[in-house]
C-alpha cells in the first residue's frame, strides 16, 4: 500500500495521541496487547504440540521401531529367514531380533510389574535412545552371562535399586513338578540405569542381553519379535508389505501407527482444536482494533471533513485509516512473536517455578507421558499464524476505514 507524503503524515498523526485523546491511545494499546497475546498463545501452543508429538514419536520409534514382526504366543519361528529377508527389502534400514515380555520384579521387599526386553549387544550399543540416556552405572557392564541388567530410571526409583544392587525376575512359566508348575526366579545385578524420557517406559523397562532373556524365558534360540526400521516412517506400510506373505501363519506385522494410533490421532485432533480456540482470541483482539478505530474516526470526523473539502479523495482517507489499523495489528504481531519466543525459551523454568510455588506439577510425566515440556517451532507455521492473524484483523480494519472514507463533509460542516 503506497502512501503519498501527506497520507503518511496523517497516518503518523493519528497513530499517536493528541491533546485530550489519551483514551483513544489507551484503547489502541489494549488492542495491540490483545493481538500480541493471541499471537504469542498461538505460537506457544503450536510449538508445544509439535514438540510433544515429535519428541514422543522419536522416543517411541527409538525403542519400538517403525514396525514390528510379532510372533504368535510370543515366539517367532523361522525368525532368521524373516530378518534376512527384511534387511534385503528396499526401504528397510535394520531388522533387529528381540524378546519382550511382561514379568514381575522384586527388590528390597518391593514388587513391581516390569517389561523385560532382550536385545543383542550390538543392537543395545547402537540404540541412541538407550545408549545416550544412561544416568547411572555403565551399559558396557551389561554383557551376556554377566548376570547384569539395565533398568528404567523410574523403575529403579520404585524398587529402590541402583547400580550394584540386586533384583529378582519371576517367570511364571517355570519348571513342572509333582505339585504343579513352579515359577522360575532369577536374580540379577543392576549394571546401569537409563532414562529415555517416556514415563511408561522408564517405569517398566528391564533391558538385558538376548541370550540371558532366552535363558530366563526358556526359549532356546527363539525370539519373540523383529523390530524394523525404515527410511521413511510415513511409508512404512508400503515398505513392509512384501514381508506379509513370509510372515503369514507365523505372526503379524504391526507398524507404529497401529501401535499408537489412538495416541497420535488424539494429539492431531487436540492440535487442530487448540489452534481454532486460540484463533478465537485473535478474533476478539480484532474486535478491539475495530472499536479503537471507530473511536478514532468519530473523534476525527471534523478533520476528515476538512481534508475532503481540501481535495483529499475517499481512497486517500481509506488508505490512511487502513495503515493505522495495520500498524496497530502489526505491532501486536511483532510483540506477540517476541513474547512467544521468550515464553518458549523459559518454558521449563516456568513449569519448575509453578511446581515450586504451588507444590503441584503442571507437567506431571505420569499424565503427560514425557518427563520434560518439549517445544518445536515450525517456521512455516509461524508464517501461517501471521497470515491468519492479518486475515482476521483485515475485516475489522476495513469497516471503520470505509466509514471514515464515506464521511460527507457537507453534513459534518453544515453548521460550522
Q: What is the pLDDT of residues 388-415, one digit of tens each?
A: 999 988 888 888 888 888 877 767 676 5
**Helix %, strand %, coil % for the chain, to 5?**
60, 20, 20
- Rounded to an integer, the average pLDDT of 8-29 is 73
| Mean per-residue pLDDT, 256-277 | 81
Percentage, residues of the chain above pLDDT 90: 20
Determine the average pLDDT of the residues in 66-78. Answer: 84
User: Which residue(s) pair with 69 in the sheet?
Assistant: 226, 253
Rounded to the nearest 5°, which phi and psi values hold at 133? Answer: -130, 30
Enumerate residues 6+ apart whose C-beta is below 8 A from 234. Answer: none
Whether pLDDT at 168 is above 90? yes
What is the structure's pLDDT at 116? 93
**pLDDT value of position 72:** 83
Overall pTM surpassing 0.75 (yes/no)? no
Q: What is the band of 166 on the pLDDT scale with cuts at 50, 70, 90? A: very high
Q: What is the pLDDT of residues 314-335, one digit of tens each?
A: 888 888 888 888 888 899 999 9
Q: Stretch 70-75: mean pLDDT, rounded?
A: 83
Q: Across all residues in the chain, what is the average pLDDT?
A: 84
Mean pLDDT of 108-127: 89
Average pLDDT over residues 161-175: 86
- Residue 369's H or E segment, with its range, is none
Three-class SS string for 205-242?
Answer: EEEEEHHHHHHHCCCCCCECEEEEEECCHHHHHHHHHH
The conformational region for residue 405 under phi > 0 = left, psi -120 to 50 = alpha, else beta, is alpha
Q: Give residue 176's pLDDT.
A: 63
How do residues 353-370 score in pLDDT, each as one tens digit? 877 787 777 676 665 667
| φ/ψ (deg, to 5) at 142 | -85, 95
Place of cell 504451588: 358
* Model confidence band, residue 126 (pLDDT cutoffs 50, 70, 90): confident
Which pLDDT score is estimated for 416?
A: 59
pLDDT exceeds cutoff 90 at 277: no
Condensed to tens digits (0 to 9), the pLDDT of residues 228-244 reads 988 888 888 889 888 88
Higher pLDDT, 200 or 159: 159
pLDDT level of residue 337 (50, 70, 90 thresholds): very high
Q: What value does the mean pLDDT take over residues 141-163?
A: 92
403 or 27: which leads in pLDDT: 403
Of 413 and 143, which is predicted with more confidence?
Answer: 143
Amino acid at each position: 500500500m503506497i502512501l503519498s507524503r501527506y497520507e503518511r503524515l496523517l497516518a503518523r498523526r493519528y497513530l499517536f495521541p493528541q491533546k485530550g485523546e489519551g483514551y483513544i491511545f489507551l484503547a489502541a494499546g489494549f488492542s495491540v496487547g490483545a493481538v500480541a497475546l493471541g499471537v504469542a498463545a498461538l505460537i506457544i501452543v503450536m510449538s508445544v504440540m509439535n514438540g510433544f508429538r515429535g519428541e514422543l514419536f522419536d522416543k517411541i520409534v527409538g525403542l519400538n521401531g517403525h514396525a514390528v514382526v510379532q510372533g504368535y504366543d510370543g515366539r517367532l519361528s523361522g525368525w532368521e529367514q524373516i530378518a534376512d529377508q527384511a534387511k534385503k527389502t528396499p526401504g528397510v534400514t535394520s531388522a533387529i531380533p528381540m524378546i519382550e515380555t511382561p514379568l514381575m520384579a522384586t527388590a528390597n521387599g518391593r514388587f513391581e510389574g516390569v517389561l523385560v526386553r532382550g536385545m543383542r549387544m550390538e543392537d543395545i550399543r547402537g540404540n541412541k535412545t538407550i545408549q545416550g540416556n544412561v544416568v547411572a552405572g555403565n551399559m558396557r557392564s551389561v554383557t551376556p552371562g554377566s548376570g547384569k541388567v539395565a533398568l528404567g530410571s523410574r523403575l529403579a526409583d520404585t524398587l529402590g535399586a541402583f547400580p550394584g544392587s540386586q533384583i529378582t525376575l519371576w517367570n511364571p512359566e517355570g519348571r513342572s513338578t509333582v505339585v504343579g508348575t513352579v515359577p522360575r526366579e532369577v536374580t540379577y545385578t543392576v549394571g546401569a540405569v537409563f532414562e529415555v524420557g517416556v514415563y511408561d517406559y522408564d517405569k517398566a523397562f528391564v533391558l538385558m542381553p538376548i541370550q540371558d532373556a532366552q535363558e530366563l524365558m526358556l526359549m532356546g534360540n527363539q525370539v519373540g519379535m523383529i523390530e524394523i526400521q525404515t527410511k521413511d516412517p510415513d511409508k512404512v506400510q508400503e515398505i513392509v508389505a512384501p514381508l506379509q506373505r513370509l510372515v503369514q501363519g507365523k505372526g503379524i506385522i504391526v507398524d507404529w501407527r497401529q501401535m499408537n494410533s489412538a495416541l497420535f490421532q488424539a494429539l492431531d485432533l487436540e492440535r487442530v482444536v487448540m489452534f481454532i480456540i486460540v484463533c478465537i482470541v485473535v478474533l476478539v483482539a480484532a474486535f478491539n482494533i475495530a472499536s479503537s478505530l471507530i473511536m478514532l474516526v468519530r473523534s476525527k470526523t471534523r478533520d476528515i471533513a476538512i481534508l475532503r473539502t481540501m481535495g483529499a479523495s475517499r481512497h486517500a482517507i481509506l488508505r490512511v485509516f487502513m495503515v493505522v489499523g495495520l500498524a496497530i495489528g502489526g505491532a501486536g504481531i511483532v510483540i506477540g512473536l517476541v513474547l512467544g519466543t521468550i515464553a518458549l525459551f523459559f518454558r521449563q523454568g516456568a513449569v519448575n517455578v509453578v511446581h515450586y510455588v504451588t507444590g503441584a506439577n503442571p507437567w506431571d510425566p505420569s499424565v503427560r507421558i514425557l518427563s520434560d515440556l518439549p517445544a518445536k517451532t515450525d517456521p512455516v507455521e509461524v508464517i501461517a499464524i501471521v497470515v491468519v492473524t492479518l486475515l482476521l484483523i483485515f475485516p475489522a480494519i476495513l469497516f471503520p476505514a470505509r466509514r471514515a472514507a464515506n464521511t460527507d463533509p457537507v453534513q459534518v460542516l453544515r453548521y460550522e
